[in-house]
Amino acid sequence: MCCRRLCIFRLAFAIAFPEPFTSKTMPSTSVPDYIIVGGGLCGLVLAARLSEDPGVSVCVLESGSETFHDENIDVPANLAQTWGNPNYDWAFFSTPQKEAGARPIFLPRGKGLGGSTLINVMELTRASSVEYDAIEELGNPGWNWNEFLKYFKKSETFTYSPQEVEPYGMHFDDNAHGTDGPLKKTFPRYMDTLVQPALQTADTLGIRRISDPSAGDNRGIFVATKSIDTNATRSSAASAYYEPNKNRPNLNILTGARVGRLLTVKGSSSGIVIRGVEYLQGDALKVLEASKEVILCAGSYQTPKILELSGIGDPSIIGKLGIPVVLDLKSVGANHQDHLVYTFTFRLKGKLETYDSMQEPEVAERQKKLYTEERTGLLSATPSLFAFLPLRTVDKDDIILDSARKMKLEDANTAAQKTLKLQQQWLVNDRIPWIDINFIDRFMPGPGANFEPGKAYMTINVMLLHPFNRGSVHITSPDPLQNPVIELNAFDNDVDLAISVETYKFARKFSTTGPLGALVEEEICPATELKTDDDIKEFLRQSLGSSFHPIGTVGMLPEKDGGCVDPSLKVYGTANLRVVDASIIPINISAHLQATLYAIAEKAADIIKKGV
């Protein structure tokens, strides 16, 4: 964004809205019933569902643009090409992480109609039923596995044939999958060279194969279903929920519209009333009012930011920035949870055809033809094989368990305490996966790793699903164009580090054993042998990154427990403001988030339609 625009935005904010907005400026004819801030995953689901009623008008404000039929988005294997590119990605960074080599961690977030579903890895699966039930037990009636299942099914259409999944030991439970929802779900048509060897190695290590990881029990190893259409193109929130409905006269979508803050009025007996929003479009600062509700769907980093800019949050944080406090809600931006993820890489023997082979013109041409003509091959796929394993898999003697149970959690903030205590109970619950290992048939940059063209690589991506660190997302300026400050507090406790060390040893053993190990020529990252636990710790600190699923910054919990929204997703203390996006998830689950978010947004649409 050019400097002139920046200055105008800042100035306009200062001049036009020195106080919470109170006077009426918009002609009421253009006032929609609902304003949705952010046209990402949740925003577009809500827009589609609420505008099913022709008598209801909806306006979506999205910062990014509309990008249909763009190969960087549609072709599955192109996915990483959008990361860091400002046309598609907000490309945030965390603060430098003290315990991770003082490095800021890269945090991509999708921009444009479709949000992060334009740039994500398309893995589409669910956590275990116990974890969804736990969301209800935290104080959120109605948010349990049975309800989630209903909405998982409503959101998707699953197309597969039993013969194609059989060779991987899978049998889907048809009762657990949707048949006529907007999002397209398929089983990978092209299986990379790592899948069968890794499945066989898992057998030798006693790791079970799961026939259907989406039916409430996801412990074990499996080939993941994907948000990919039957013609091998990405199914995103935009292609699934927006494109078919874009001509509805009651659905108005404004792109290039960046919301700064909410227009609030005090005085209603049911709380603060939100009249509308202020946004910047081009160089113009504009105002849009809503006759019913404003719904924030800007994601885990930007929803808390908009709340704080609007004076809703912790007074000790926003007050010192000169923002008048409209509503004291201390947990806004707190309880931020981010997984810990690290990778290590091997060079493979011989001449296997993997994603890296596409650097050779002959392979690239052949694969392109295969994709265009038969909708299969390397370009049609993303890494498919996942192992979700309980802590006991790597902690056979309960050593980590013992220290984890002794962790003192009193210093954490209120919202964090409740979920941390629950996690402590989960340590001993073998129904809850703690580790996610993903086998990737390509080179990924890591400390000391060198890429040699013409060779094939395997990168192992390991995630800790329930780490004990808690971070925060807060503004440090009243300027809506400044990024929020994202603190992860990665590795701020010994337990996460100890679990990571044991997990690394286990994942490394897995990759170098049996049929999978037989593919390996040399370990190239880490570049030197790690002899002691301290060596491993140092490597993990250098390798640590994000797997891109931030949650919890506007948590759904009882207010006394540090919640920001109630079970109808209404912000406490407001009459007509809801949050529907990943920030409401109070505790992490053992699945990548998108399936869960489609279900959350589908359920939210029903709640809003009922006017609860």
Ligand X SMILES: *[C@@H]1O[C@H](CO)[C@@H](O)[C@H](O)[C@H]1NC(C)=O
Ligand Y SMILES: Cc1cc2nc3c(=O)[nH]c(=O)nc-3n(C[C@H](O)[C@H](O)[C@H](O)COP(=O)(O)OP(=O)(O)OC[C@H]3O[C@@H](n4cnc5c(N)ncnc54)[C@H](O)[C@@H]3O)c2cc1C
| Residue from 73, 119, 199, 223 binding ligand Y (CB under 6 A) | 119
C-alpha distance from residue 563 to each of 82, 335, 449 (Å): 34, 10, 43
- Interaction of residue 229 with ligand X, rule CB under 6 A: yes
| Residue from 20, 21, 36, 39 binding ligand Y (CB under 6 A) | 39
| Minimum distance, C-beta of residue 252 to ligand Y, in the bound complex (Å) | 14
- Interaction of residue 588 with ligand Y, rule CB under 6 A: no
**477-497 core/surface letters (b: 16 or more CB in 10 A; e: else):** ebebeebbbbbbbbbbbebbb
Which spans in 462-493 are helix H?
none
Nearer to ligand X, 436 or 441 (CB): 436
Residues 578-597 that bind ligand X (CB under 6 A): 588, 590-592
- Interaction of residue 436 with ligand Y, rule CB under 6 A: no
Angle, CA of 547, 73 and 84, to the nearest 5°: 50
| Residue type (1 letter), 450 | N
In the residue annotation, 69 being an active-site residue is answered as: no
| Minimum distance, C-beta of residue 369 to ligand Y, in the bound complex (Å) | 27
Beta strands in 500-599 (DSSP E): 520-525, 577-579
In the residue annotation, 171 being an active-site residue is answered as: no
Which spans in 156-298 are helix H?
162-165, 195-204, 237
What is the C-alpha separation between 35 and 23, in angstroms, rounded? Answer: 19
| Minimum distance, C-beta of residue 32 to ligand Y, in the bound complex (Å) | 15
- Interaction of residue 76 with ligand Y, rule CB under 6 A: no
| Residue from 223, 259, 460, 516 binding ligand Y (CB under 6 A) | 259
* Cβ-based neighbour number of residue 259 at 10 Å: 25
What is the C-alpha separation between 78 and 92, in angstroms, rounded? Answer: 21
- Interaction of residue 550 with ligand X, rule CB under 6 A: yes
Query: Which stretch, 33-41, 133-141, 429-437, 516-524, contacts ligand Y (CB under 6 A)?
Result: 33-41
Angle, CA of 181, 77 and 504, to the nearest 5°: 100
For residue 516, the surrounding DSSP H or E stretch is helix 514-517
- Tell me: is residue 259 an annotated ligand-binding position: yes
In the shown chain, the binding pattern of residues 161 to 200 toward ligand Y, with x for contact by CB under 6 A and - for none, equals: ----------------------------------------
| Residue from 153, 154, 339, 549 binding ligand Y (CB under 6 A) | 549
| Minimum distance, C-beta of residue 59 to ligand Y, in the bound complex (Å) | 12
Name the residue with tokens 């020195």.
Answer: 18
For residue 558, the surrounding DSSP H or E stretch is none
- Interaction of residue 339 with ligand Y, rule CB under 6 A: no
Name the residue with tokens 């010192």.
Answer: 320
Catalytic pick from 339, 466, 474, 549?
A: 549
Nearer to ligand Y, 400 or 486 (CB): 486
Q: Tell me which residue of 304, 406, 427 sits closest to 37, measured CA to CA.
A: 304
Contact assessment for residue 116 and residue 238, using Cβ atoms and an 8 Å cutoff = no
Query: Which stretch, 104-112, 277-285, 316-324, 545-553, contacts ligand X (CB under 6 A)?
Result: 545-553
Residues 423-452 that bind ligand X (CB under 6 A): 436
Task: Report the residue closest to ligand X, judged by CB.
Answer: 339
Contact assessment for residue 446 and residue 343, using Cβ atoms and an 8 Å cutoff = yes
Residues 319-358 that bind ligand X (CB under 6 A): 337-339
Name the residue with tokens 């339609």.
Answer: 609
Task: Report the residue closest to ligand Y, judged by CB.
Answer: 40
Q: What are phi and psi of 167, to 5 degrees?
A: -60, -15
- From ligand X, ligand Y, none, interface partner of 317 (C-beta below 5 to 8 A by class): none
Annotated binding site: 259
Active site amino acids: 549, 592
List contacts with ligand X (CB under 6 A): 229, 231, 233, 337-339, 436, 463, 465, 547, 549-551, 588, 590-592
Annotated binding site for FAD: 259
